[in-house]
Amino acid sequence: MDTDLGGNGVNHPPAGADPLGADGLAGTEPPPVLTWHISALVRYPLYGLYGVLLAPLPFLARMQGHILGAWLLGLGFIAGFVLLSGLLSQRVLADDTGLQVVYPGWVPLVRGWRVNWQDIVRIATRPTGQGGRVHYLVTTDGQGYLIPMRISGFSRLLDTITQRTGLPTQTIKPLAQPWMYGAIGLCVLILLPLDLWLIAQTWRG
């Protein structure tokens, strides 16, 4: 059962929707939009990996006397973190007409997509280099749209796809490589004390 109100396929009425219909009667509001967000199992290890790999660089530059380089690296670290946050702010939306993947408008060079339910004719599966599988919604014109697999409430998304298209989704797994993110989290925990020690030594020096 999905209980995470942050992104497990929760019904979100459109902004500004009147809980009563135009005639003042309940039950005539526009249909809700289902919304999913990237899973915390994916987001936090990636945030952590970015931090432990790049956060020490400005301090190393400062330790070596490169003050300007330290400032530039610090600004670059902040800019990169903001960009990563934008990429991990992906949302998946489903309504009565179709499925949509959107990103914040300020994220550069990344475009979302939208596909209508009536245009989807089959689901194509492809293997990945890490031993997992990815799945595409294939439309009548042969275009493929990657099913987002790293979201919270993935089973709810599959149920929605099946309900809207009639295509079976029982064999699709909720996450392509969960072990990979666990390994990333372990690396973060190992490197974090070293980073903190390095930063402390820099400030003492």
**Rounded to whole angstroms, how far apart are CA atoms 93 and 37?**
9
Confirm whether 18 is domain-assigned: no
Confirm whether 200 is domain-assigned: yes
Q: Averaged over 73-96, what is the pLDDT? A: 96
Confirm whether 2 is domain-assigned: no
**Rounded to whole angstroms, how far apart are CA atoms 56 and 195?**
6
Q: Averaged over 87-114, what is the pLDDT? A: 94
Q: What is the pLDDT of residue 45?
A: 95
C-beta of residue 11 within 8 angstroms of C-beta of residue 160: no
pTM over 0.75: yes
Confirm whether 7 is domain-assigned: no
Domain of residue 97 covers 31-204
29, pLDDT greater than 70: no
Structure tokens that stand for 51 in this block? 């931090």
Confirm whether 72 is domain-assigned: yes
Q: Averaged over 106-131, what is the pLDDT? A: 90
DSSP 3-state of 144: strand
Q: Where are the alpha helices (DSSP H) in the chain?
A: 40-54, 56-63, 67-87, 154-165, 178-204
Name beta bridge partners: 8: 36
Structure tokens that stand for 158 in this block? 């599959």
Q: Number of folded domains in the chain? A: 1
Instruction: Give 1 or 193, the one with higher predicted confidence.
Output: 193
pLDDT tens string 143-200: 999 999 999 999 999 999 999 999 999 989 876 567 888 999 999 999 999 999 988 8
pLDDT tens string 122-145: 999 998 877 778 999 999 999 999
